[in-house]
Chains A and B, each alone.
Chain A
């Protein structure tokens, strides 16, 4: 089973309010990623967990937080949503380090109003 599940599928949030997105995988993968995808743009790497170690990209360091309470689950947290956060958020997992294939969930479409 190569399934990565994301909840919810659609999320509506108000400007200035927090947002929490959930991802799970049952493949016992070591690494879990979060990407942000806007129309006509490349999926943008936000952060990833390798085992229990969180790595956040420099240009989004202060905008996103994450937690991984166990191997299967990973969350993406936005403390105060702005209009620019409206996007598709894709979670992915892989077995190990950079040469491994990513397995993606179907994404959560976040709309901030």
Chain B
């Protein structure tokens, strides 16, 4: 069973719009969560980490974590064409094993 599930598989938003990505984990031992972003031809790059319940905001990006429901989300406001990429949710406990979801393909249309 895959430990990290993401939705939707793909998402299209207009430039300037809000993009919302979701992630649910199946392992209650997970304590640490990240969002990674991968542009074509590159490796994934960390966008945000979130380790505590609640919201974490970095510029146009806001992550929300609810450990009780094992749910983490990412919201991108004022989406730009350069935000078009594959977004991965990742989760870990404290033993170095970090697991990824299948990804959400975001397209921001000018």
Contact = CB atoms under 8 A, between A and B. Distances in A.
Contacts of A107: 43
A78 interface: no
A25 to B, nearest CB: 12
Contacts of A43: 44, 88, 100
A28 interface: no
Contacts, number: 63
Given A41-B102, A45-B97, A104-B43, A99 B2 contact: no
Interface string A34-72: 010000111101001010000100000000000000000
Contacts of A4: 43
Interface in B22-53: 31-32, 34, 36, 41-46, 49, 51
Interface residues of A, number: 24
Contacts of A97: 94-96
B36 to A, nearest CB: 8
Interface string B40-81: 011111100101000000000000000000000000000000
A98 B91 CA distance: 9
B51 A99 contact: yes
Interface of A: 4, 31, 33, 35, 40-43, 45, 48, 50, 55, 90, 92, 97-99, 101-107
